[in-house]
Amino acid sequence: MSHTLHKNLSRFYFVYYFFVGVFVPYWGLYLQSEQFSPVEIGILMSLFQISRIFAPNFWGWLADHTEKRTVWIRLNTVLGVLGFTAVFWAEGFWPMMLVMGALSLFTSSTMPLSESLTLAHLANTKGHYSRIRMWGSVGFIVASIVLGYLIDWAGISSLLWAILAVQVVLFLLTFTLTEAKVAPHQADDFSVWRILSNPAVIALLVGCALMVTAHGVLYNFYSIYLAEHGYSKGMIGWLWSIGVICEIGVFMLMPTIMQRFSLKQIILTSLALAVLRFSMIGLAVDNVVLLLIAQGLHAATFGSFHVATVQVVTQFFNGRHQAKGQAIYNSVTYGIGGAIGGIAGGYALQGLGGELTFLLAAAFPLAGFAVIAFGLKLAATHGDKGMFG
């Protein structure tokens, strides 16, 4: 992979996940400041997951059919900007739902399309996924720390302008992305339904969805949970960042990890550590040391889990099915799984409290562990260290 292509993709990941680092830790706090209830916050935040159920599949099909990705990435980002601008006039639950619905409809498709574009480039150049994706983690860290202090200093309304500015920059960066040629593959003649009927694919999607269900609770309510226990916005930003800093370490170590352990072993270990992580968050919210350890486990519950599962998806969905495969993976796991976690988490938080809500969230990766252990069988047990190293 050329230096320019690597730089452009890395920069795009940095800014996209900068947006995620601005939005995920603090948007729930903004909604809370606007007097929305936990259930309303859960519904509004889960629009992003609900949109992931169907929107990426449409854009993924369009990308594979037209053999274009950059055009649709660019369209999604500009429509995301236009959809979000209405937030400055939105008051009340239904107007906010319309704004967040428009924003989520397009931003939910940007990364699956970008992932398929990146993976197509990597397949042709033998570049390194982990070294590109790592810059997304750096963007998240910078955003979550900077925004925490900005909000403490300037107030929660500053979040709106930060989100708008980052979206505009992301749109401008789409003009630096170049199209990738997808090489023909023997699976091109298969129907995508034939791939989806594979029991191993079903086990992968169900197991991943269960993992992300727990994370849906985390993404929607972790900051609110911490704020209710007296943590400042700056401290909340650091706690989010600790997890992503550890995630970067795992991304750098993935070539070695994938040489020593099978993809299934990596996924199972990540699920087991997720059970521990969510149990600790529920039981030890007032113990900063244990909370830091729990956040450090994000390296496994997202970092190693994400790299290993993306690699497995590329084994099952190749050639002309590549973008559709990434879209289906995102739709089922982050869409259905995230929506269940986000909405159910709102009801649980309101009825049971934060401690019990996060403790119950640990049951989902436990169930996911069982599904993957018994259902996932792989032809290639280890990852392609050239692409994912």
CATH for 258: 1.20.1250.20
CA distance 212 to 53: 13
For residue 127, is pLDDT > 70?
Answer: no
Residues, the chain: 389
pLDDT tier, 247 (very low <50, low <70, confident <90, very high otherwise) = confident
How far apart are the C-alpha atoms of 210 and 65, rounded to whole Å? 31
Q: Enumerate helices (H) and strands (E) in the chain, giving the number of each.
A: 19, 0
- For residues 270-282, one letter each, b for 16 or more C-beta atoms within 10 angstroms of the residue's C-beta and e for the rest, the string is bbbbbbbbbbbbb
Average pLDDT over every residue of 116-130: 74
User: Within 13 Å of residue 373, how many CA atoms lie on the same side as its CB?
Assistant: 11
User: Which residue segment(s) compose the domain that 377 sits in?
Assistant: 3-178+186-388
Give the pLDDT score at 205.
Answer: 94
Is the distance from CB of 200 to CB of 312 less than 8 angstroms? no
DSSP H or E run through 103: helix 93-125
DSSP structure class, residue 156? T
What is the pLDDT at residue 77? 93
pLDDT band, very low/low/confident/very high, at 180 (cuts 50, 70, 90) = confident
- Residue 172, pLDDT above cutoff 80: yes
Q: Confidence band (pLDDT; 50, 70, 90) for 78?
A: very high
Domain count, the chain: 1
Residue 387 in this model has a pLDDT that exceeds 70 = no
- Residues 6 or more apart from 365 whose CB is under 8 A from it? 210, 211, 214, 271, 272, 274, 275, 278, 301
Q: Which of 25-39, 43-57, 168-182, 355-369 has the highest mean pLDDT?
A: 355-369
**pLDDT one-digit tens code per residue, 327-369:** 788 889 988 999 999 999 999 999 999 999 999 999 999 999 9
C-alpha 222/C-alpha 285 separation (Å) is 10
Residue 357, both tokens: 């809500």
Q: What's the pLDDT band for 130 if we cut at 50, 70, 90?
A: confident
> What is the pLDDT confidence band of residue 319, given thresholds at 50, 70 and 90?
low
Rounded to a whole number, what is the largest CA-CA distance in the chain? 57
| Dist. CA 121–CA 32, nearest whole Å | 42
Q: Provide the pLDDT for residue 291.
A: 94
Q: Can you tell me the distance from the alpha carbon of 331 to that of 108, in angstroms, rounded to the nearest whole number?
A: 9
Which pLDDT belongs to residue 46?
Answer: 86
Provide the mean pLDDT of the chain: 87
Q: Is the pLDDT of residue 187 over 60?
A: no
How far apart CA 72 and CA 191 sit, in angstroms, is 23
